[in-house]
Amino acid sequence: MFYRITLIILFFSFVAKSQELKGTVADRTTQLRLGQVEVLNRQTRKKTTTNEKGEFSIAAYVGNVLVFYQPGYIPDTLFLVDLKPVKRYLALNNKLLHTVVIKAGAFNPEVEYAEVYNKAKFIRLAQNKPFMLSPSRLFGKEGRDARRFKRKLELEKSERKIDERFNESAVTSLTPLKGAELDYFMVLYRPSLKVLDKLDEEDFRFYLMNAYKMFKALPDTGRISPSLREK
């Protein structure tokens, strides 16, 4: 009986340790998935990061606490009541990005966040001259956060330039789209800044009309965001 109980305990211990939790992480406002989000299991101290599609998998079991962290966002904590796939949404940290969220008009992160850029530049120079900076600051959390936050600001700068032309006003002036279909159209056919810079006004109108033609050719279920179809 003793050996039987021991085997049962070992079996459930093995099962608990070998289970894997999967999920996705996205921006709460834009609903766009986030890459390079750090996911930490507080109990096991295991870490992972989301891929470019915002997906992650990590060893876990019921009762664990996961923490989701990315510079510029408020950390998110999740207590696992089961091991079903999870969806987490991170909110921008207004204390760090209040200007990005509130201020309208031209966005100049090099000026508004000069401290971040100077720190990132200093660390980059120190990589060529290691004696300028201690290894802990160069390769540690401070250095990683500065570089990540700078990349986040550069992305925000590009996204704002796209928004100046590709926005609801431009789309609805040429198409009858509205509501959920309008939202999903703007996700599916949002151009990159590189593509948009090559389009003059006439080319841009043609781009929107051609995109609308392709969108209407989709089946009804294909014109609604998958996240809404699941509800």
The CATH number for 60's domain is 2.60.40.1120
- Are residues 223 and 175 located together in one domain of the fold? yes
- Residue 12 belongs to a domain: no
- Residue 3 belongs to a domain: no
Backbone dihedral angles phi then psi of residue 113, each to the nearest 5 degrees: -125, 45
Burial class (CB in 10 A: 0-12, 13-18, 19+), 59: middle
Domain that holds residue 62: 20-90
Residue 80 near residue 41, CB atoms below 8 Å:
no
Instruction: Point out the domain boundary residue: 119, 139, 163.
Output: 163
SS3 call for 221: helix
Reading the chain (231 residues) residue by residue, the pLDDT tens digits are 555 555 444 444 444 454 899 999 998 888 888 988 999 999 999 999 999 999 999 999 999 999 998 877 888 999 999 999 999 999 877 654 333 343 445 556 666 566 655 655 655 545 555 544 445 444 556 666 667 777 777 777 788 889 889 999 889 888 888 888 888 898 899 999 999 999 998 899 889 989 999 998 988 888 777 765 554
Q: Which amino acid is at 77?
A: T
